[in-house]
Amino acid sequence: MLERYFLKPQTIDGIRSSWLADPIEKYVAWLTEKGYAARNVVARVPILRRFARFSWSQGARSFDDLPDLVEPFVADWVASRDNGRSPERTHRFRNEIRGPVEQMLSLVVPQFVARGRTTRALVVPFATQAPGFFSYLREERGLRETTIKTYQHWLRPFEGYLREVGVETLSELSPAIVSAFITSSIDGLNRNTITGFCCCQRVFLRYLHREAIIDRDLAAVVEPPQTRRLSNVPRSITWDEVKRMLEAVDRRAAVGKRDYAILLLLVTYGLRAREVAALTLDDIDWERERLLVPERKAGHCTAYPLSAVVGEALLEYLKNARPETTERSVFFRMHAPQTPLTYTAVGSRASHYLHKANIQVRRAGSHTLRHTCVQRLIEAEFPLDTIGQYVGHRSPQSTEIYSKVAVETLREVALGDGEALI
């Protein structure tokens, strides 16, 4: 494998004479498997050779000795190159050195935790006093892990607050304590964030009462902001703006082929970013010309007719841009490591092209295109129930908001003589 990247025999001999020769070669093979560019492999191997010399000089004689020497090695190299770098450049330089070493160690040292690649496990709030709460969310309410993480995010401050004020058990909760926590927590948050925060607290408090952990239901103490139903206009864009966005994609490049297919899926079928990221090759039925979207938020699957435009875009990407891999996911990162695209990346790509096309819209992202799909169906006078099923709305109220205004008419009123339209 080394011969693939290094031409000089003396360079290869130097690598293989190192006491970490086997881990280095294993790491090079791993980089190749993950699709890293040759220039990245060539740049990382010298760092590992230097780490091998440094660790040996520090008395390391087994792989298990290496994790404790990573930070001293980084500090030693940074000190030897201290030429007045800014703090930002020094931080970046440290990561450039630490990254390859930690990646190699993760391949050869069992249970090694890379400082720069993993995050510490977050403590589950109220795991001792209300151990069944998150199982309740998963099994009884059917919430997804991303939603459960939101609950954990908002309950950690509650647990910390109770610890600060000396409340040792949940049975000591009172309306005054809950109210004081809510008041101290919502300062600076916007209306939507406060609503989500209050929802999490109310669900938790109801659960505590149901399980007899507290003797009264304190959910009523938590009052979310008052909002008027159908008060917001969905952030859709016009079809001309959709065309401008699609024209901004450079479809000659591999990343452009991928992103073009993603954008068409979002705006044609109104898919969520998570649904696009979860698509697999098995979900595309070329013989019957159907696209299957399983496990939707509403709890069902949807089979769409595969439109010619979307099918051509998918085929172009799959044939000429998708990385070679045995995994079944449709969309992948273009750069190493070539892992399946996440739902956050899907939203980011939609936002990128909306901004690139200079389309002004509040909170630009994948949901902008979903809203556009629904609004176009509304304007085509499809029944709300049909539209809700098409885009996978869990509740009819989710679709109803799109029908409350004639968006184009309001635009004309704003730009011209409103009386002419009456």
Q: Give me the active site residues, please.
A: 272, 297, 367, 370, 393, 402
- Residues 6+ away with beta carbon under 8 Å from 23: 48, 63, 104, 105, 107, 108
The token pair at 252 is: 């000659």
Distance of CA 274 to the CA centre of its chain: 9
d(CA 303, CA 353): 27
CB 276 within 8 A of CB 346: yes
**Can you tell me which residue has the tokens 């949901």?**
367
Of residues 66, 72, 56, 58, the one with CA closest to residue 17: 56
Q: What is the DSSP string of 14-67?
A: HHHTSTTHHHHHHHHHHHHHTT--HHHHHHHHHHHHHHHHHHHHTT--SGGGSG
d(CA 178, CA 183): 9
How many CB atoms neighbour CB 348 within 10 A?
14
d(CA 422, CA 420): 6
Q: How far is CA 163 from CA 159, 169, 178, 180, 389, in A?
A: 6, 9, 13, 14, 46
Of residues 245, 191, 196, 192, the one with CA closest to residue 372: 245
